[in-house]
Amino acid sequence: MHPVICGTMRSAYLLLFILVFNLSPSKGKINDTLKIYSYSQLKEKFYDYVGNDKISNANVISKYYLQKAKDEKNTTEITEGYVLRHFNLDLQNALKYIDSISIYKKDLDQKIYPARIYLLRGNLYLRHDNLKLAFENYMLGLKYAKEKNNERQIAIANISVAYLNNYIGKHAEAAKILRFYLYHGNYFNEAEQGRIHYNLADTYIEINKMDSAKTLIQEGVQAALKNKNSYKYYQYLFLDGFYNLKLNKYDIAIEKLLKCKEFFAKNENDLNISYTLLNLGKAYDGLKNKDKAAENFIAIDSIEQKSNNTFPELRDIYTYLIDYYKEKNNKEKQLYYIERFLKVDKLLDSQFKYISRELPRRYDTPQLLKEKENIINDLQNRKKILYISISILFIGLLVLLYLYKKSKNSEKRHREIAQKLIHSIEEKNNAFTEPEPNVIITDISDKKISFNQIESKSKSIPEDVVQFILKGLENFETKQQFLKKGITLSSLAKTLKTNSAYLSDVINTYKEKNFASYLNDLRINYALTRLVHDKKFRSYKLSVISEELGYNNEQAFSIAFKKKTGTTLSIYIKEVEKSHNQN
State the pLDDT at residue 99: 85
Q: What is the pLDDT of residue 240?
A: 95
For 30, residues 6+ apart whose C-beta sits below 8 A from its C-beta are 23, 24, 60, 64
The reported pLDDT for the residue numbered 367 is: 57
What average pLDDT is seen over the chain? 81
CB 11 within 8 A of CB 51: yes
Residue 135 pLDDT exceeds 70: yes
Higher pLDDT, 323 or 17: 323
Statement: residue 12 has pLDDT above 50: no
Q: Nearest 5°: phi and psi at 99? A: -65, -30
CB 529 within 8 A of CB 501: no
CA dihedral defined by 517, 510, 425, 487, rounded to 10 degrees?
-40
Whether the per-residue pLDDT at 8 is higher than 60: the answer is: no
What does the pLDDT average to over 399-428?
84
User: Among the listed ranges 301-305, 352-356, 521-525, 541-545, which one has the minimum average pLDDT value?
Assistant: 352-356
| Least confident span in 24-33, 47-56, 74-83, 519-528 | 24-33
Buried b (16+ CB within 10 A) or exposed e, 246-274: beebbeebbebbebbbebbeeebebbbbb
Arithmetic mean of pLDDT, 128-143: 84
Q: Is the pLDDT confidence value at 314 over 90?
A: no
Residues in the chain: 583
| Residue 448 pLDDT greater than 60, yes or no | no
Residue 388 has pLDDT above 50, yes or no: yes
DSSP secondary structure letter of residue 111: T
pLDDT of residue 162: 85
User: Are 168 and 352 within 8 A, CB to CB?
Assistant: yes
C-alpha span between 152 and 112 (Å, rounded): 9
Question: How open is the CA angle 111-151-45, to the nearest 5 degrees?
Answer: 80
CB atoms within 10 A of CB 183: 10
Is pLDDT of 15 > 70? no
What confidence score (pLDDT) does residue 249 get?
Answer: 95
Alpha-carbon distance 345 to 341, whole Å?
6
The better pLDDT of the pair 422, 204 is held by 204
pLDDT at 290: 94
pLDDT value at residue 363:
56
Residue 449, φ and ψ in degrees, nearest 5 = -125, 125
Predicted confidence (pLDDT) at residue 122 exceeds the cutoff of 50:
yes
Tell me the sheet residues that pair with 450. Answer: 439
Cα–Cα distance, 439 to 433 (Å, whole number): 13
DSSP assignment of 124-156:
HHHHTT-HHHHHHHHHHHHHHHHHTT-HHHHHH
Q: Nearest CA to 366 among 131, 118, 139, 34?
A: 139
Sequence-ordered list of residues with C-beta below 8 angstroms from that of 438, at least 6 positions apart, any chain: 450, 451, 452
φ, ψ of residue 310 to 5 degrees: the values are: -105, 155
Of all residues in the chain, what percent carry a pLDDT higher than 90?
17
Specify burial of residue 243 (Cβ count, 10 A radius: 0-12, 13-18, 19+). Answer: buried
Contact 231, 53 (CB under 8 A): yes
Over the stretch 254-307, which tens digit does the pLDDT of each residue have? 999 999 999 988 876 677 888 999 999 999 999 999 999 999 999 988 888 887
Tens digit of each residue's pLDDT (9 = 90 or more) over 471-486: 999 999 899 998 888 8
Q: What is the average pLDDT across 149-176?
A: 85
Overall average pLDDT of the 216-225 stretch: 93
State percent of the chain over pLDDT 70: 83
With 90 as the cut, is the pLDDT of residue 236 above it? yes
Which domains does the chain show, CATH number per domain?
1-207 (1.25.40.10), 439-582 (1.10.10.60)
pLDDT for 109 = 77
